[in-house]
């Protein structure tokens, strides 16, 4: 089935899984089909009026659903299925979008408690901690993400370890950085090439902020790589 452009499937346990394009991964969107369906119907009621037309004050100038409406939709889904990690994770991201950082953190902590192997939620929690200046906590949360991903043989486990390396580098913890960098290199042999190409494309486009984000990760995992050093010089100049 397709819901709002995303592929939705039901596993043998009756859980509903949604293909999340933003992370190229499947996320548990409902713990039971009946709860998920009820939540979807409640969510749609917030967008459509009684005549089946789009309600007023739902979309922004670009035709996207307003963040406050998306927040209400996700809360409606959670009212029907409170333990579903997908809607709560998306709620946290919408809260971040609206600047409600502490509320977002609370939701992410609940997601991680409900689904300890949801690596993306752990990583987003680490990003919130980093944003708040709590780098030590961010390292621990990123490690939880990496260990969860590695434990289920997630195809992007190496990427999660690279984030541990980046945070450890920022904190000046070279022992943790080196350990995480080794794991990242072993688990994701193609990661360096993809990140280098991405950084180069962003530098060519003049997007230094995005390039810096990629280079921070590259320098943490491959600090002596000649291509990484060359791109770093380009960024600084």
The predicted model scores a pTM of 0.92
**pLDDT confidence of residue 216:** 97
Q: How far apart are CA 59 and CA 61, in angstroms?
A: 7
Q: How far apart are CA 222 and CA 12, in angstroms?
A: 42
Distance of CA 71 to the CA centre of its chain: 17
CA-derived radius of gyration, the chain: 20
Q: Tens digit of pLDDT per residue, the chain (237 long)?
A: 777 778 999 999 999 999 999 999 999 999 999 999 999 999 999 998 777 788 888 988 888 999 999 999 999 999 999 999 999 999 999 999 999 999 999 999 999 999 999 999 999 999 999 999 999 999 999 999 999 999 999 999 999 999 999 999 999 999 999 999 999 999 999 999 999 999 999 999 999 999 999 999 999 999 999 999 999 999 998
**pLDDT confidence of residue 49:** 77
Q: How far apart are CA 52 and CA 134, in angstroms?
A: 47
H or E, element range at 10: strand 6-10
Main-chain phi, psi angles of 85, to 5 degrees: -70, -35
**pLDDT confidence of residue 213:** 96
Q: How far apart are CA 235 and CA 232, in angstroms?
A: 5
Say which DSSP state 33 is in. Answer: H
**pLDDT confidence of residue 143:** 99
**pLDDT confidence of residue 178:** 98
**pLDDT confidence of residue 155:** 95
Domain residue ranges in the chain: 1-115
């Amino acid at each position: 089935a397709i819901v709002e452009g995303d592929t939705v499937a039901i596993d043998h346990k009756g859980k509903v899984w949604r293909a999340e394009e933003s992370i190229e991964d499947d996320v548990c969107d409902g713990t039971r089909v009946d709860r998920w369906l009820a939540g979807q119907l409640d969510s749609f009621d917030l967008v459509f009026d009684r005549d089946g037309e789009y309600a007023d004050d739902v979309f922004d100038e670009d035709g996207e659903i307003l963040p406050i409406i998306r927040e209400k939709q996700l809360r409606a889904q959670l009212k029907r299925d409170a333990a579903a990690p997908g809607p709560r994770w998306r709620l946290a991201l919408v809260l971040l979008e609206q600047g409600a950082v502490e509320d977002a953190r609370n939701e992410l902590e609940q997601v991680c408690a409900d689904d300890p192997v949801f690596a993306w939620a752990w990583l987003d929690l680490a990003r919130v901690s980093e944003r708040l200046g709590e780098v030590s906590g961010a390292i621990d949360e990123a490690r939880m993400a990496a260990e969860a991903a590695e434990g289920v043989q997630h195809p992007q486990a190496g990427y999660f370890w690279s984030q541990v390396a980046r945070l450890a580098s920022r904190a000046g913890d070279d022992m943790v950085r080196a350990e995480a960098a080794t794991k990242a290199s072993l688990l994701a042999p193609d990661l360096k090439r993809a990140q280098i190409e991405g950084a180069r494309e962003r530098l060519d486009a003049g997007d230094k902020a995005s390039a810096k984000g990629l280079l921070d990760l590259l320098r943490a995992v491959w600090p002596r790589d000649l291509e990484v050093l060359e791109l770093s010089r380009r960024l600084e100049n």
